[in-house]
Amino acid sequence: MSTVPQHRARKRFGQNFLRDLGIISRIVRAVGPRSADRLVEIGPGQGALTEPLLEAAGHLEVIELDRDLIPGLRVQFFNYPDFVIHEGDALKFDFAALKGDGPALRVVGNLPYNISTPLIIHLLAAGSAIEDMHFMLQKKSLNA
């Protein structure tokens, strides 16, 4: 694992950065990424899940809303030519257009509680563009 850049989690984005290597490993094993997969990570944050996904598959597309995290991700994964960042809101993202004529997408993410249900509904609406989805849902904050 590379060093995670410092960034203060933003409450408005529901950010809670994944750091537990055991949980990260379990998620990656559950996904079982292969080089033939079209992997898409929603909300890579500081890249904790991104790195092992990239190491396993060799390529990955990510969707990140927080523009302050994007430069760090570009630096952290500069040596992966097949790492693509899409800046935007996953709730508004066109997953069918991303799929295009290629294979169906395998979607992964560590989702904030507040967007999990609408995002899953949005992804289900993309129909055949999505092969499968693997998410960790963050616990709802009692202060939210």
Q: Show the low-confidence residues of the chain (pLDDT under 70).
A: 1-19, 139-144
Q: What is the residue whose two structure tokens read 């991700």? A: 73
Q: So what's the pLDDT on residue 10?
A: 42
Query: Under DSSP, is residue 7 helix (H, G, I), strand (E, B) or coil?
Result: coil
Q: So what's the pLDDT on residue 18?
A: 63
Q: So what's the pLDDT on residue 9?
A: 46
User: CA–CA separation, 14 vs 16, rounded Å?
Assistant: 7
Q: So what's the pLDDT on residue 79?
A: 93
Query: Under DSSP, is residue 31 helix (H, G, I), strand (E, B) or coil?
Result: helix
Using alpha carbons, list the distances in angstroms from residue 7 to 66, 71, 103, 109, 133.
11, 12, 34, 19, 27
Contact 42, 19 (CB under 8 A): no
State the binding site for S-adenosyl-L-methionine.
16, 18, 43, 64, 89, 110
State the binding site.
16, 18, 43, 64, 89, 110
Q: So what's the pLDDT on residue 5?
A: 46
Q: So what's the pLDDT on residue 23?
A: 82
pLDDT in tens, 31-66: 999 999 999 999 998 898 999 999 999 999 999 998
Which is it for strands 60-64 and 130-137: parallel, antiparallel or unpaired?
unpaired
- Domains observed in the chain: 36-137 (3.40.50.150)
User: CA–CA separation, 19 vs 47, rounded Å?
Assistant: 10
